[in-house]
Amino acid sequence: MINDLFLRACKREPVERTPVWLMRQAGRYLPEYRAIRAKTDFLTLCRTPELAAEVSIQPVEIIGTDACIIFSDILVLPEAMGVKLFIEENTGPYFENPVRTRADIDKLIVPDPCRELKYVMDAIRLTRKNLNNRVPLIGFAGSPWTLATYLAEGKGSRNFSSIKELIYTNPKDAHALLDKLARTTAAFLSAEIEAGAQAVQIFDTWGGILPPDEFREFSLRYIEQVLKLLKHNGAPAIVFCKNCGHSLEAIADTGCSVVGIDSSIDIEKARMLIGSYTALQGNLDPALLYAGPDRIREGVKRILGKFGKGSGHIFNLGHGVLPDTPVGHVKAFVQAVKEESAKYHK
């Protein structure tokens, strides 16, 4: 590996500077991505390894990030469980037949990821080959809870009424659904590692819609199950639960190597709480990239200063990069981290 800063920081080993990448770095803010999407619909892009590899590598070459994340989507996994997925150009992804009853849950299949999701594994193998060890490759999946929200709602949601009704009125069925999703997710992430992913990230985008007790019962418990079943093969696991600052210690206790933190969390406090046994990833407000390079650099310096000296920090945003972010600002962000962080590692 030519640049292994990211992997070393995941393990809290010494680094010369803080590594940096962005959640959703392969995507719509890049004109090169939009050029490919103008000719290819989203799911075809996910299912065509040559194109998926190309857009995965774009931010590494154009922005200079220290890690590559495989281009795919968290919703390809539930689709492989037998729920047809549609992506509407303007309104986003949806499932025509949401999963709400015990019969719906029992109908879900536990797929063999090497067969039903072979296109993801092929994309990982090809991306590794084309990266040629320039930077490490990250595989990912949604958390069981976050996948369950999409399955029950059928699409993105404001109130999450269907999934909340399920957990409060019928917790047994909710647990059956989450257990099935956890087993499927563990097999999927293990296959990604086997195919060449050098780290994996679990996105719990919707853990934060639950009160702390329910977050532990319905989300964290199943992330823990995934990590227990995972065939790590040395690959660090990152757990990112958005809006879950109330449970940092519990997240770190799932057995992950890295805890992803959103912008609402003070990274100095997070390091005090869990930094002695896990690395931290984050946490610049994605909207700060609307501001100019000087303001971005100021934000970067503040977070570096709060984390302080030593390894165990992977710089990232607090959530995905926004689609209308100017590319020049994303470059300025990555450049600022590279230049300002060296002094914290002397």
Please, what is the minimum distance in Å from the beta carbon of residue 73 to ligand 1CP?
4
Please, what is the minimum distance in Å from the beta carbon of residue 242 to ligand 1CP?
7
Query: 26 vs 274, which CB is nearer to ligand 1CP?
Result: 26
Please, what is the minimum distance in Å from the beta carbon of residue 36 to ligand 1CP?
9
The verdict on whether 29 is a catalytic residue reads no
Please, what is the minimum distance in Å from the beta carbon of residue 327 to ligand 1CP?
14
Which of the following is catalytic: 17, 37, 47, 128? 37
Q: Which residues contact 331 (CB under 8 A, 6 or more apart)?
A: 62, 63, 64
The verdict on whether 12 is a catalytic residue reads no
Residue 203 CA to residue 240 CA, distance in Å, equals 5
Query: 26 vs 235, which CB is nearer to ligand 1CP?
Result: 26
Please, what is the minimum distance in Å from the beta carbon of residue 309 to ligand 1CP?
29
Q: Which residues contact 306 (CB under 8 A, 6 or more apart)?
A: 266, 267, 268, 271
Residue 336 CA to residue 293 CA, distance in Å, equals 8
Query: 25 vs 257, which CB is nearer to ligand 1CP?
Result: 25
Of all residues in the shown chain, the one whose CB is closest to ligand 1CP is 156
Task: Name the residue with tokens 């501001």.
Answer: 291
Query: 74 vs 135, which CB is nearer to ligand 1CP?
Result: 74
Task: Name the residue with tokens 């100021």.
Answer: 298
The CA distances from residue 157 to 5, 169, 206, 209, 343, in Å, are 37, 19, 10, 11, 43
Residue 311 CA to residue 5 CA, distance in Å, equals 10
Please, what is the minimum distance in Å from the beta carbon of residue 330 to ligand 1CP?
12
Query: 219 vs 311, which CB is nearer to ligand 1CP?
Result: 219
Query: 33 vs 307, which CB is nearer to ligand 1CP?
Result: 33
Quote the tokens at residue 324: 């209308």
- Comparing CA positions, the residue from 151, 137, 125, 153 lying closest to residue 66 is 137
- Comparing CA positions, the residue from 307, 288, 304 lying closest to residue 296 is 288
Which of the following is catalytic: 4, 150, 173, 297? 150
Question: Where on the chain is the footprint of ligand 1CP (CB under 6 A)?
Answer: 23-28, 37, 42, 69, 71, 73-75, 92-93, 140, 156, 203, 205, 320
Residue 237 CA to residue 69 CA, distance in Å, equals 13
The verdict on whether 134 is a catalytic residue reads no
The verdict on whether 73 is a catalytic residue reads yes
The verdict on whether 344 is a catalytic residue reads no
The CA distances from residue 308 to 111, 204, 278, in Å, are 44, 27, 15
Residue 343's Cβ-count burial label (10 Å; 0-12, 13-18, 19+) is exposed
Helix axes 118-131, 49-62, angle to 10 degrees: 40
Active-site residue set: 24, 28, 37, 73, 150
